[in-house]
Amino acid sequence: MPAFIRAIPDGDDRERLTCPDCGFIAYENPKIVVGSVVSAEGRILLCRRAIEPRRGFWTLPAGFMEMGETVEEGARREAWEEAQVRIALEGVLAVYSIARLGQVQVIFRAGFAEPGFAAGPESLEVRLFGWEEIPWAEIAFPSARWALTRWQEMAGKPLAAPATNPPEDARGTRPLPQPAGL
Amino acid sequence: MPAFIRAIPDGDDRERLTCPDCGFIAYENPKIVVGSVVSAEGRILLCRRAIEPRRGFWTLPAGFMEMGETVEEGARREAWEEAQVRIALEGVLAVYSIARLGQVQVIFRAGFAEPGFAAGPESLEVRLFGWEEIPWAEIAFPSARWALTRWQEMAGKPLAAPATNPPEDARGTRPLPQPAGL
Ligand SMILES: [Zn+2]
Ligand SMILES: [Zn+2]
């Protein structure tokens, strides 16, 4: 891969990474991480990371959202991949911005849809922790600590806002109607 | 720009767009739209689009989040760019997935931080509408209708969840502490 250069494309207002060979413009956009605080009877599911960064530290089941899925589907997929758990989403618990990394994290509150969990390929170990047992010094990321704290604050309370997609277009896949003449 | 081909990179598990000339992998990630339902005394700010898609239709001040900003900063920037308005955010009103477009929309509820607004370069016109005046047939996107409907449902109610960044790292810019030995 050639060295990309920073240049302002025609019609744009800021520098973008551009391939000097082929002119490809690598627009760098913030990425979306989807994850969940999954609990059962007051105990919270954490995964011990098998990969860098923060290998060996504990975190929530979470990862990068893929094209073609909804935030809900992404959160369920990540819970399955990392903790082999089928989750039932209750609502959005937190929306965090990690400006340093160009990341937005959408974190759900969830329960178990089916019993059972196990370490997926990116986890060394998956365990349920009571609130008093959480290994705070070994939590991988500040945002995981924030989400756990928020989970505790909201325990037993409804997640009133935000709304997510309405039932008539739960995946945001309906085409736009043809524009009417204005 | 050469024609990109779809191929599964080493170590990945799905097809990505790849440049056959230089090997650049164009990971397509979902993009984040940030926007706001901005109101004053029960009237809602809408922008009539000067650009495609949906030129001439009305929408919320919203647009693609940029690298290095938080969702809050992006929503304020877009309100300024499209409606020349300084807004005060109240909280996250909605998180929508437009799977068809690979898009996640984070929509805030906001008020005016300063009086005054005007059409920015991407708007033909900016106006305040009472709830009964909203031109529903001329709203540009379903998600703008969803957000307006949600705004009405939540009128006068607190936006309890989700949390956003805690004050001690409001922009998500603090570096991670050095890993302690485990
Ligand atoms: Zn190239
Ligand atoms: Zn190329």
Q: What is the mean pLDDT of each run of 10 residues along chain A (182 residues)?
A: 71 75 77 96 96 94 92 95 95 88 91 96 96 95 90 86 61 62 45
DSSP state of B139: B
Closest-CA residue of chain A to B24: A1
The confidence score (pLDDT) of residue B166 equals 62
* Interval B9-68: pLDDT, tens: 777 777 777 777 777 777 778 999 999 999 999 999 999 999 998 999 999 999 999 988
The confidence score (pLDDT) of residue B165 equals 58
- Mean pLDDT over each residue of chain B, to the nearest integer: 86
* Interval B124-179: pLDDT, tens: 999 999 999 999 999 998 889 989 998 998 898 888 666 665 656 666 666 666 65
A-chain residues within 8 Å CB-CB of B169? 142
The confidence score (pLDDT) of residue B162 equals 63
- Identify the residue among B28, B33, B58, B67 best suited for mutation to test binding to A, counting A beta carbons within 10 A and taking the highest: B67
- Closest by alpha carbon to A30, among A94, A104, A100, A96? A104
Q: How many angstroms separate the alpha carbon of residue A18 from the centre of ligand 2?
A: 10
CA-CA-CA-CA dihedral for A6, A12, A14, A17, to nearest 10: -30
The confidence score (pLDDT) of residue B57 equals 94
* Interval B78-136: pLDDT, tens: 999 999 999 999 989 988 888 888 889 999 999 999 999 999 999 999 999 999 999 99
Interface predicted TM-score of the whole assembly (ipTM), two decimals: 0.82
Closest by Cβ to B102, choosing from A68, A143, A182? A68
- Closest by alpha carbon to B95, among A141, A108, A30? A108
Helices (H) and strands (E) in chain B, counts: 2, 10
Instruction: For residues B72 and B61, give the distance between their C-alpha atoms in angstroms, rounded to a whole number.
Output: 13
Instruction: For residues B42 and B156, give the distance between their C-alpha atoms in angstroms, rounded to a whole number.
Output: 10
Burial readout A110-135 (b: 16 or more C-beta within 10 A, e: otherwise): bebeeeebebbebbeebbbbeeeebe
B156 burial (CB, 10 Å; 0-12 / 13-18 / 19+) is: exposed
Instruction: For residues A129 and B60, give the distance between their C-alpha atoms in angstroms, rounded to a whole number.
Output: 43
The confidence score (pLDDT) of residue A129 equals 98
Q: Which domains does chain A have, with CATH numbers?
A: 31-156 (3.90.79.10)
